[in-house]
């Protein structure tokens, strides 16, 4: 198949944006985030093309697709991290609980408190474990009962048992997997509405990865989670909903994870999931 044919077939198989919304299988059934006709460019290069989808409350939504199809761009648009990239331009709407996050009266810093982010490489601050977790709480002036809140966040991040006797040690002295759970504790301490994760386990060994996966599933009982992953098994294991992006920054299929993995609507999605291209 020529490149043009491939692109044409992708265009044809791009779903009608009106049909993207899927039935909820768990969580509350509410949509926390709704995106409508979102286009993103970096200078003249289009990275996302007409993305309309919803991210349901208290579920895990996985974003999958080959390298360069716009998954990270999509994630970064939700909490306006792309504002920090000079060449980035966005059109369309992204609503958090009905409010367009790009409205003039939205403070991006406040937005990022409600929509926390965990990155591929664990990036604790060069501070103590305690101060890493307390950081966001202090910035927001929520520093009453700080010890209790730090412990609670570390417990929810499944790290408390391993670090409770070394809270004054540097976060950088922890193992990679522990550092990532510390970053998750830091992200959840201020009690965000949504947690965005960009390949949070890709730099970790299998044991640490498995802990992070268990943790993500647990977090979804309290938080709304959107995760970019290159790992198909991981997406299948931990997510309730899956969004498949393909070349050209198009959302080709979105729905219940089980359906996407067992009986996708589009041949290109099946080919991607079964490893025929990547």
Which positions lie near ligand ATP, rule CB under 6 A? 42, 45, 47, 65, 67-73, 85, 87
Pick the closer one to ligand ATP by CB: 26 or 108: 108
Pick the closer one to ligand ATP by CB: 130 or 245: 245
Q: How far is the CB of 53 from ligand ATP (least distance, A)?
A: 15
Pick the closer one to ligand ATP by CB: 185 or 246: 246
Q: How far is the CB of 245 from ligand ATP (least distance, A)?
A: 6
**Contact by Cβ (8 Å): 252, 246:** yes
Pick the closer one to ligand ATP by CB: 175 or 202: 202
Q: How far is the CB of 198 from ligand ATP (least distance, A)?
A: 8
Q: How far is the CB of 101 from ligand ATP (least distance, A)?
A: 18
**Contact by Cβ (8 Å): 65, 75:** no
Pick the closer one to ligand ATP by CB: 29 or 68: 68
CA angle 195, 227, 134 (to 5 degrees): 30
Place of tokens 């009453």: 144
Tokens linked to 63: 């974003």
Q: How far is the CB of 169 from ligand ATP (least distance, A)?
A: 32
Q: How far is the CB of 76 from ligand ATP (least distance, A)?
A: 8
What is the side-by-side order of every strand in the sheet holding 88-96?
Answer: 45-56, 31-42, 88-96, 99-100
Q: How far is the CB of 187 from ligand ATP (least distance, A)?
A: 19
* Residue partners of 269: CB distance under 8 A and separation at least 6: 13, 244, 246, 252, 253, 260
**Contact by Cβ (8 Å): 248, 41:** no
**Contact by Cβ (8 Å): 275, 230:** no
Pick the closer one to ligand ATP by CB: 198 or 213: 198
* Packing angle, helices 129-139 and 146-156, rounded to 10: 110
Pick the closer one to ligand ATP by CB: 26 or 248: 248
User: Residue 50: which region, alpha, beta or left (left: phi > 0; alpha: psi -120 to 50)?
Assistant: left
CA 61 to chain centre: 8
């Amino acid at each position: 198949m020529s490149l043009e044919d491939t692109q044409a077939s992708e265009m044809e198989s791009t779903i009608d944006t009106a049909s993207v919304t899927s039935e909820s299988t768990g969580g509350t059934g509410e949509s926390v985030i709704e995106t409508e006709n979102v286009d993103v460019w970096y200078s003249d290069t289009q990275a996302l093309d007409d993305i309309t989808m919803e991210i349901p409350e208290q579920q895990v939504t996985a974003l999958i697709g080959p390298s360069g199809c716009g998954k990270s761009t999509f994630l970064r648009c939700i909490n306006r991290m792309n504002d920090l990239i000079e060449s980035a331009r966005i059109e369309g709407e992204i609503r958090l609980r009905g409010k367009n996050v790009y409205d003039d009266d939205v403070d991006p810093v406040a937005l990022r408190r409600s929509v926390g982010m965990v990155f591929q490489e664990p990036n604790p601050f060069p501070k103590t474990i305690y101060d890493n977790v307390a950081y966001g709480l202090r910035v927001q002036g929520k520093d009453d009962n700080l010890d209790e809140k730090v412990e609670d966040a570390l417990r929810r991040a499944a790290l408390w048992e391993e670090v409770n006797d070394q809270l004054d040690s540097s976060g950088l002295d922890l193992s990679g997997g522990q550092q990532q759970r510390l970053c998750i504790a830091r992200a959840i301490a201020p009690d965000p509405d949504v947690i965005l994760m960009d390949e949070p386990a890709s730099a970790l060994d299998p044991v640490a990865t498995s802990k992070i996966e268990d943790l993500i599933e647990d977090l979804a009982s309290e938080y709304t989670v959107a995760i970019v992953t290159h790992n198909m098994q991981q997406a299948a294991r931990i997510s309730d909903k899956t969004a498949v992006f393909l070349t050209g920054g198009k959302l080709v299929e979105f729905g219940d994870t089980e359906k996407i993995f067992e009986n996708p609507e589009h041949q290109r999605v099946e080919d991607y999931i079964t490893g025929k291209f990547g």
